[in-house]
């Protein structure tokens, strides 16, 4: 011993044993460890460079602020289109308490009400109805609502001098009714960070209306829909409890 080379700290290093590939060295040595010049494979480097180049047009296209390009916006558009098609199916709804109650027990249509809510109401009532500027819609206390029909009134005409805007002129009757049913359905759900209850606790919503026999063709339509939609089962369950 004693003949081994010393590193910069003066510590002896074992000589390198075994085969040394004859790749060219970079000339760098750290603590006696020499660095080979092994470049990354060409295909890897080109993929890397290619992905960087791809990123710029991609970011410009999707995040450049142009309308209707993000997945969310395209989804919203498709959804709106779909709602219009669906509305053709139910025709114009009556704007009354009975209709709000009826659709409270129709999960498929509540989804339409939900999309109206997501588009117009979350800014003040929170994504899950827990309340922001507007009150919490998930608890049992309401400020302007004593009966389920009042929800529709509040939606149509607003409340608190416009702090809750009137939607009569901005939403179609179907949107108003289904949004009202959806708001009613929020009652009793859990909202993350919900605001404390405001107003007075009111009686529970009415039970699902008994299966009435509507006009013959309408009834046929409905049974067809129930049979084809798998989500019709929860309706029956909810109605039964
Ligand atoms: C600009 C903010 C704002 C928007 C947007 C808004 N609301 Fe409101 N909303 C309020 C405020 C504020 C109140 C409470 C009014 C009061 O103090 O009497 C309220 C009250 C309500 C109430 C009555 C709650 C209660 O306790 O009496 C309902 C129901 C309601 N909003 C539903 C909706 C729906 C559905 C939408 C979407 C179509 C919507 N709001 C959009 C601000 C808003």
Question: Nearest to residue 114, comparing CAs of 143, 144, 149, 79?
Answer: 79
How many Å lie between the centroid of ligand 1 and the Cα of residue 125?
Answer: 7
> Could you give the number of structural domains in the chain?
1
Distances (CA, A) of 78 to 30, 60, 106: 60, 23, 22
Does residue 175 form part of some domain? yes
Does residue 72 form part of some domain? no
* SS3 call for 214: coil
Evaluate: CB of 205 within 6 angstroms of ligand 1.
no
Does residue 230 form part of some domain? no
How many Å lie between the centroid of ligand 1 and the Cα of residue 111?
Answer: 19
Evaluate: CB of 121 within 6 angstroms of ligand 1.
yes
Looking at residue 228, what is its pLDDT? 46
| Cβ-based neighbours of 167, under 8 Å, separated by 6 or more | 120, 155, 156, 158, 176, 179
Q: 200 phi and psi, to 5 degrees?
A: -110, 145
How many Å lie between the centroid of ligand 1 and the Cα of residue 134?
Answer: 5
Burial of 66: CB neighbours in 10 Å, binned 0-12, 13-18, 19+? exposed
pLDDT of the chain, 241 residues: tens digit per residue: 567 778 777 888 777 676 666 667 888 888 988 888 888 899 999 999 999 999 999 999 988 888 778 888 888 888 778 877 888 888 899 999 999 999 999 988 998 899 899 999 999 999 999 999 999 999 999 999 999 999 999 999 999 999 999 999 999 999 999 999 999 999 999 988 899 999 999 999 999 887 765 554 544 444 444 444 444 444 444 444 4
Does residue 171 form part of some domain? yes
Structure tokens at 29: 């040595």
Evaluate: CB of 154 within 6 angstroms of ligand 1.
yes
CATH number at residue 189: 1.10.760.10
Q: 59 phi and psi, to 5 degrees?
A: -65, -40
Looking at residue 104, what is its pLDDT? 95
- The atom number, within ligand 1, closest to the CA of 120 reads 37
Does residue 233 form part of some domain? no
Tell which one of 95, 124, 132 to mutate to probe ligand 1, the residue whose CB is within 8 A of the most ligand atoms: 124
How many C-beta atoms lie closer than 10 Å to residue 7's C-beta? 14
Does residue 189 form part of some domain? yes
Does residue 74 form part of some domain? no
SS (H, E, C) 48-89: HHHHHHHHHHHHHHHHCCCCCCCHHHHHHHHHHHHHHHHHHH
- What residue ranges in 6-55 does DSSP mark as E strands? 25-30, 33-36
Q: How many CA atoms lie within 13 A of 59 on its CB side?
A: 6
Evaluate: CB of 102 within 6 angstroms of ligand 1.
no
**Using CA of residue 155, residue 158, residue 160, residue 162, what is the dihedral sign?**
positive
Does residue 98 form part of some domain? yes
How many Å lie between the centroid of ligand 1 and the Cα of residue 38?
Answer: 66
Structure tokens at 212: 């009435």
- Which residues span the domain enclosing 167? 93-201
Looking at residue 102, what is its pLDDT? 94
């Amino acid at each position: 011993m004693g003949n081994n080379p010393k590193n910069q700290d003066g510590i002896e290093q074992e000589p390198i044993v075994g085969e040394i590939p004859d790749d060219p060295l970079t000339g760098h040595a750290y603590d006696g460890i020499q660095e080979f010049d092994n470049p990354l494979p060409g295909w890897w480097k080109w993929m890397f460079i290619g992905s960087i180049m791809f990123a710029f047009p991609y970011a410009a296209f999707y995040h450049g602020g142009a309308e209707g390009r993000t997945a969310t916006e395209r989804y919203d558009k498709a959804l709106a289109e779909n709602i219009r098609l669906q509305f053709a199916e139910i025709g114009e709804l009556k704007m009354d308490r009975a209709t709000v109650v009826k659709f409270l027990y129709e999960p498929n249509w509540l989804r339409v009400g939900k999309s109206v809510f997501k588009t117009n109401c979350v800014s003040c009532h929170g994504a899950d109805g827990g309340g922001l500027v507007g009150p919490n819609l998930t608890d049992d206390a309401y400020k302007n609502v004593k009966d389920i029909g009042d929800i529709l009134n509040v939606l149509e005409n607003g409340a608190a001098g416009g702090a809750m805007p009137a939607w009569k002129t901005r939403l179609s009757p179907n949107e108003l009714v289904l949004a009202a049913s959806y708001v009613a359905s929020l009652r009793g759900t859990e909202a993350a960070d919900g605001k404390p209850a405001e107003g007075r606790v009111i009686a529970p919503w009415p039970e699902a209306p008994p299966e009435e026999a509507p006009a013959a063709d309408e009834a046929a339509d409905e049974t067809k829909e129930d049979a084809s939609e798998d989500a019709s089962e929860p309706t029956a369950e909810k109605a039964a409890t």
